[in-house]
Amino acid sequence: MTGNWGGLRDNLVDAGITPTAAYVTDILGNPFGGLDQAIKYAGRLDVDLNFNLEKLGNLQGLQFHVSGSWASGEDLSADDIGNIFTVSQIFSGDTVRLAALYFEQSLFADALNIRAGRIAAGDEFVTSPHFYNFVNSAINGNTSSISINVPSFTTFPVMTWGIRARAEPVERFYVMGGVYNSDPSLGRNSAHGVDFSFSGDVFAIGEIGYLHNQEQGATGLPGIYKIGGYYDSGDFTDLSDAARDLTGNYGLYVLVDQMVYREGGPGSHQGLAPVVAFTFAPSDRNTLPFYFYTGLVYHGLFPGRDNDVTAFGLTYGKFSDDLRGQDFEMVLEWTYEFVITPWLSVQPDVQYIIKPSGTSTIPDALVLGAEIAINF
């Protein structure tokens, strides 16, 4: 939106410094259903600086990254609907915080990439670019079932100390693994992202991916297939006996994202891509031992609107059998993103929440609203 700053932006990038800033707001209301009816705003301003140390200091393949956020607003889900999948993905409290703070090193012609510092596992694992087209947190970014079950699985802007390595040993395949400090209390809003202490527990995650038709010169329809697992060494409440703790927690996930129809030739982003994801975890210590998501995302559905995105998603989260009176929560979401300019998008959104928090005591809720995004 702010242009090239009289050439200063290009000069900074050429020198090795890339500044970005974006503001996203969700304005949503539930005209019926839930605990109460309300309209709530949630917004977040994110500021990011990337330093290319190869340009700045002749340190080949090394970058330094720092970012922060200013979050504001209220949580419509917690305050008025009573459901577990937060209807506004951008809601992250009411605070200013330091977010990412890490070094990133690429080696062997980018065949190996390592990040170390203040990072979030959820920014890179169990994710698909198509997930970001949705407003509900159940799928925006990644499958929120893992963070509900294991709070140490964090996403931007909540970061923790960690190290992540990603390697592509052969063409089309990659392996990625990370180890992180496991202490959900470090993400509290009052810490503002600067509680740098360590706990004695760790969260570890690994993922194997197959990149279908994504190599340079590929003419087929692109897709990505992922399978992974995670383990947290901390203590978790036994859901059948609240007075007893169980040591450790773990789970598995599968994700498939495959374009099935494309307008235009190779390299075109226009077309239809179905996405499917599953997560599995033991029911004795996990709120959602089974989670399923499926969605359809179409870029450029209407003539003359090549950059717009149409999306439909269905999310199902099954509550543990040890949580009496809670069965499942399901979310249906329909959304359309109007890309007004390269820096402004407006996204009307409709959600329908079935069995909020898995109970029959809270009426199903309709959620209407819009998300507005500005890239400065």
Beta bridge partners of 375: 22
Q: What is the pLDDT of residue 354?
A: 98
Q: What is the pLDDT of residue 373?
A: 97
Q: What is the pLDDT of residue 199?
A: 78
Residue 213, Cβ neighbours under 10 Å: how many? 15
Q: What is the 3-state secondary structure (H, E, C) of 337-348?
A: EEEEECCEEEEE
How many angstroms separate the CA atoms of 347 and 337, rounded? 4
| Spatial contact of 275 and 309, defined as CB atoms under 8 Å apart | no
Q: What is the pLDDT of residue 48?
A: 97
Q: What is the pLDDT of residue 266?
A: 86
Q: What is the pLDDT of residue 315?
A: 97
DSSP-derived letter for residue 73 is: E
Q: What is the pLDDT of residue 265?
A: 84
Q: Which of 274, 355, 269 is nearest to 311 (CA)?
A: 274
Q: What is the pLDDT of residue 234?
A: 93
| pTM given for the model | 0.92
Residue 238, Cβ neighbours under 10 Å: how many? 14
Q: What is the pLDDT of residue 84?
A: 97
Q: Taken in order 69, 75, 77, 78, is the CA torsion positive or negative? A: positive
Cα 102–Cα 108–Cα 109 angle in degrees, nearest 5: 90
Q: What is the pLDDT of residue 267?
A: 84
Q: Which residues of the chain have pLDDT under 70?
A: none
How many angstroms separate the CA atoms of 26 and 369, rounded? 7
Backbone angles phi, psi at 64, to 5 degrees: -125, 135
- Domains of the chain from N-terminus onward: 5-375 (2.40.160.180)
**Do you find a cis peptide bond into 157, omega within 30 degrees of 0?**
yes
Helix, strand, or coil here: 146?
A: helix
| Spatial contact of 253 and 280, defined as CB atoms under 8 Å apart | yes
| Spatial contact of 345 and 330, defined as CB atoms under 8 Å apart | no
